Amino acid sequence: MKMKHIYLVLILVFLRLMSMAQVNSFTIDSSKFNKPVMLMLDTIYKDDQGGRVRMGEISKSKASEAQIDSARKALRAIDAKNLVKVRAIINKYGWLGPQDVGMNSSQGLFLTIQHADLATQEEYLPMVKKAVKDGKTLSSNLALLEDRVAMRQGKKQIYGSQLFTNKATGKLCFYPIEDPDHVDERRKTVDLQPIAEYAKVFNLTWDITAYKNSLPEIEKAAKEQKL
């Protein structure tokens, strides 16, 4: 009975994923853009990404712990400032897609939510789901947000987009993935690249057998670190 129940749950999850509209392109007419809001969101996008590039550079350098901590605080300040602006924009205009403000500016909207606290992510998750349904954001954006929320809630991620550093080993690894054998099938439904290619971005090699063998250790580390 238990196996039948698990099998049924997996079928329902698969059907839900297959029913999602895959949004990966947009018809854009720049003459229809809300230019003032577009410029504001473009700045938010650049600040968000620029802060993370700087954080990455500092992390890779021989910076002291104090310097890294200072950069981390600066990044949190950027995120907090961006969130105040994005909340005001959404409250006034609703979710703005690439058709409304251009691709980078619309991504600035999403990234601010993606990099916010869990409560904010949970608050806007239904809006992002609707944005995908309405063709106003990438389906991959929703996948990234759902994985981030699941990770922070202590649940397994669905698409394998989230990684963390196991403090016990010092190694970067994929946060626990639900049914890893079929992760690429799920990633395909939301226009994400195969997980083996994604792993290369982080200088990792995806080995499904090794990952499954190390899952108990990864789950323990993730639970202890309360990501």
Statement to judge: residues 81 and 168 lie in one domain: no
Task: State pLDDT tens for residues 66-116.
Answer: 988 999 999 999 999 999 999 999 999 999 999 999 999 999 999 999 999
The angle at the Cα of 176, spanning 80 to 6, to the nearest 5 degrees, equals 120
Give the pLDDT score at 227. Answer: 66
pLDDT, mean of residues 192-215 = 96
Statement to judge: residues 129 and 66 lie in one domain: yes
β pairing state of 171-174 and 163-166: antiparallel
Statement to judge: residues 43 and 132 lie in one domain: yes
Statement to judge: residues 34 and 128 lie in one domain: yes
pTM for this prediction: 0.86
Give the domain range for residue 125: 30-137
Selected residue with higher pLDDT from 25 and 31: 31
* Residue 6 lies inside a defined structural domain of this protein: no
Our count of domains for the chain comes to: 2
* Residue 158 lies inside a defined structural domain of this protein: no
Predicted confidence (pLDDT) at residue 190 exceeds the cutoff of 60: yes
Give the pLDDT score at 16. Answer: 42
Statement to judge: residues 55 and 126 lie in one domain: yes
Give the pLDDT score at 59. Answer: 80
Statement to judge: residues 117 and 180 lie in one domain: no
* Residue 214 lies inside a defined structural domain of this protein: yes
Residues 81-109 as b/e (b if ≥16 CB within 10 A, e otherwise) read ebbebbbebbeeeebbbbbbbbebbbbbb
* Residue 194 lies inside a defined structural domain of this protein: yes
Statement to judge: residues 37 and 125 lie in one domain: yes
